[in-house]
Amino acid sequence: MTEAPSLKAILSAALMLLTSACASTAHNGTDVSDPLEPMNRATFAFNRAIDRAVIDPVVHAYTKTVPKAPRQGISNVMRNLREPWVFVNDILQFKFKKAGQTLGRFVLNSSFGLAGLLKVSDDVGIPYQSEDLGQTLATWGVGDGPYLVLPFLGPSNLRDTTGLVGYFLYDPTGNALEDEGGKALSYTRTGIDFFDARVRYDSALDGLYKEDDPYVVARSVYQQNRRFEIHDGNPPAREQDLFDDLEDAEGETPN
């Protein structure tokens, strides 16, 4: 009997297909390529409805019942667990100095920071910097591809969706947790990480949904914020605009 392909094998095939598609649909301009807007708007409306009806009340209950210090500790731990993936992408982008800083942060926070509960690295002047596979592909010359709104996950594009697939496949922390405690432990960490991100973005989402056309605003902010990240906070002058003062939400303190 032929063995059924594993989820990782399926995702690996999807990663190769998405990478090829990104390369053939490169889009590096300041305007967003959104040929799937009707579908994206429908997905955006679905995500918004789920968020307002289910996720938002849970987030507000969480922020009201859990003190700020423990919430900040959880955010710190989640950030620390992402450091190995940041390190991998530092190397893939040939940013070896930053890779050394990332490794130093991870070792420092994992030891003296009590497994990442405390951001000791920030106190000694090694600030956090985020890198992911979407950014890596961009530095390799892979274009954005069409804009996408993913169910439950929100704004993306074809290149960044490819990066997300790669993250689920090859994230060292996720693989280590899966080896240690099975898929349940890895999925639990992923769920906590996404929930923590939703908590940190709570105020921004509340403001977004008050806009006349939140879909267009979300699309624009996503595009410009990714440009900001890809260029390490220093995008070309023609891409700088009213979003120049955006701060990296990875470093924000939970509400």
Instruction: Give the pLDDT confidence of 69-86 residue by residue, as tens digits.
Output: 999 999 999 999 999 999
The total domain count for the chain is 1
What are the distances in angstroms from CA 148 to CA 33, 105, 138, 221, 226? 9, 33, 16, 14, 14
Model confidence pLDDT, tens digit, residues 137-191: 999 999 999 999 999 999 999 999 999 999 999 999 999 999 988 889 999 999 9
Contacts of 105 (CB under 8 A, 6+ apart): 83, 121, 126, 128
* Domain residue limits at 170: 7-243
What percentage of the chain reaches a pLDDT higher than 90? 75
In this prediction, residue 158 carries a pLDDT of 96
* Residue 125 covered by a domain: yes
Domain membership flag for residue 254 = no
Residue 115 falls inside a structural domain: yes
| Residues in a beta bridge with 147 | 157
155: which strand partners? Answer: 149
7-24 vs 158-170: helix crossing angle, rounded to 10: 150
Query: Would you say residue 255 lies in a domain?
Result: no
Residue 215 belongs to some domain of the structure: yes
Residues of the chain with pLDDT under 50: 1-4, 10, 24, 26-29, 239-249
Q: Is residue 253 part of a domain?
A: no
83 in a structural domain: yes
Whether 91 maps to a domain, the answer reads yes
